[in-house]
């Protein structure tokens, strides 16, 4: 196939909105509308430590990631301050990523709350990609209870910039022929890779927006920033990016969750739902040729709070008998300790490793 006939790539970038704080709002609906600040406490007592992130209400008051907790409390004295809860955030991330895997075989998880997805072979054009993105956003809202912003473009660079273009709950599609027009008025710091120092040097060269940078010669940019960075800046200003969407090894969990037909604490009803999910998890492990070392029972109670109960195996496994037996143990133990009606239940397997030999229940 000639270069002219080569199919245009269609790349989607998904970025969860104010992720940590939004997870907390989902778990605690009473926080909605309030300024919420997620903190990393130093462990030295008091308000020592730094802000990890905040929701938009807190950001409007000047609370930003990286500032001290004590300063944040001066800026937003009525805000709700919470410690980071990585168990919750990883669970939510796993749910979102599992949904995303139903939309494409080529996914690159960039961080806990964002990922690239190659749709080139899944859709016929950008309009179909837009419709798919709307469906994806709705599914994440319905199943996970979170909003996200999505960008779609002919490469990873444009898709990433597009996902930041409208927040929160945004969707921006940039077709191939629209790239230069889309980039031209944006700030140079809107390009991922243009940090504070690079931005300051470009300002000294009279560059404020991407259109300004695109007018600089490649030679000029190379002289000021070096061969690799200078060439990248020139290509980025023109929306050029050939980097592939590549799955990163070791993204370590698979989860499945189901809404029960009615709220219940009846063991048999819950176990029947769990058995169905066990088969789903088993098939996913089989398809990826991986094993797990940790397994968790996930329970969402009628007050929408998330509960988990986990155990770690002595050696990795992936057979359905082990999944079913271990998750049954966790369900029974959880219900003994927490005899509460449940709305949704799920399974998560984590600490994933490539299969090195089939293990069965007898190995334990």
Among all residues, which ones are annotated catalytic? Answer: 114
Q: What is the CA radius of gyration of the chain?
A: 23
Q: What is the distance between the alpha carbons of residues 8 and 17, in angstroms, rounded to a whole number?
A: 28
Q: Which residue has the tokens 């704080």?
A: 21
Which token pair is 16? 């969860």
DSSP 60: T
Q: What is the distance between the alpha carbons of residues 277 and 124, in angstroms, rounded to a whole number?
A: 33
128-143 in b/e form (b: 16+ CB < 10 A) is ebbebbeebbeebeeb
- Tell me, letter by letter, the H, E, C secondary structure of 243-269: CCCCCCCCCCEEEEEEEEEEEECCHHH
Which token pair is 63? 């609370």
Q: Which residue has the tokens 């004590």?
A: 70
Q: What is the distance between the alpha carbons of residues 273 and 261, in angstroms, rounded to a whole number?
A: 10
The DSSP string of 209-244 is BHHHHHHS-HHHHHHHH-HHHHHHHHHHHTT-----
Residue 105 phi, psi (nearest 5): -85, -15
Of the candidates 172, 173, 176, which has an alpha carbon nearest to the alpha carbon of residue 154? 176
The CA distances from residue 156 to 11, 102, 110, 126, 328, in Å, are 6, 20, 11, 14, 42
């Amino acid at each position: 196939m000639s270069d002219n006939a080569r199919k245009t790539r269609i790349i989607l970038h998904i970025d969860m909105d104010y992720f940590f704080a939004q997870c907390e709002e989902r778990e605690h609906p009473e926080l909605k509308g309030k300024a919420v600040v997620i903190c990393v406490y130093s462990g030295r007592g008091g308000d020592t430590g730094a802000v990890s992130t905040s929701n938009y209400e807190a950001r409007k008051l000047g609370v930003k990631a990286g500032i001290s907790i004590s300063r944040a409390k001066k800026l937003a004295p009525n805000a709700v301050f919470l410690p980071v809860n990585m168990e919750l955030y990883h669970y939510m991330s796993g749910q979102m990523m599992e949904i995303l895997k139903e939309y494409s075989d080529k996914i690159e998880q960039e961080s806990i709350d964002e990922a690239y997805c190659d749709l080139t072979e899944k859709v016929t054009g950008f309009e179909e990609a837009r419709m798919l993105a709307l469906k994806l956003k709705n599914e994440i809202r319905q199943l996970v209870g979170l909003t996200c912003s999505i960008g779609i473009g002919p490469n990873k660079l444009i898709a990433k910039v597009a996902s930041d273009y409208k927040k929160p709950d945004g969707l921006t599609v940039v077709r191939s022929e629209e790239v230069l027009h889309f980039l031209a008025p944006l700030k140079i710091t809107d390009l991922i890779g243009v940090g504070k120092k690079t931005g300051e040097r470009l300002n000294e060269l009279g560059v404020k927006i991407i259109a300004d940078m695109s007018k600089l010669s490649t030679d000029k940019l190379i002289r000021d920033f070096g061969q690799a960075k200078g060439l990248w800046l020139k290509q980025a200003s023109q929306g050029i990016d050939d980097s592939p969407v590549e799955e990163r090894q070791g993204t370590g969990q698979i989860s499945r969750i189901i809404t029960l037909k009615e709220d219940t604490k009846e063991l048999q009803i819950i176990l029947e739902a769990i058995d169905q999910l066990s088969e789903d998890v088993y098939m996913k492990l089989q398809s990826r040729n991986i094993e797990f070392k940790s397994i968790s029972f996930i329970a969402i109670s009628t007050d929408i709070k998330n509960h988990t109960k986990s155990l770690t195996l002595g050696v990795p496994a992936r057979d359905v008998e082990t999944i079913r037996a271990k998750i049954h143990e966790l369900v029974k133990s959880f219900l003994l300790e927490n005899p509460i009606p449940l709305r949704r239940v799920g399974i998560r397997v984590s600490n994933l490793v490539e299969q090195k030999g089939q293990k069965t229940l007898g190995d334990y």
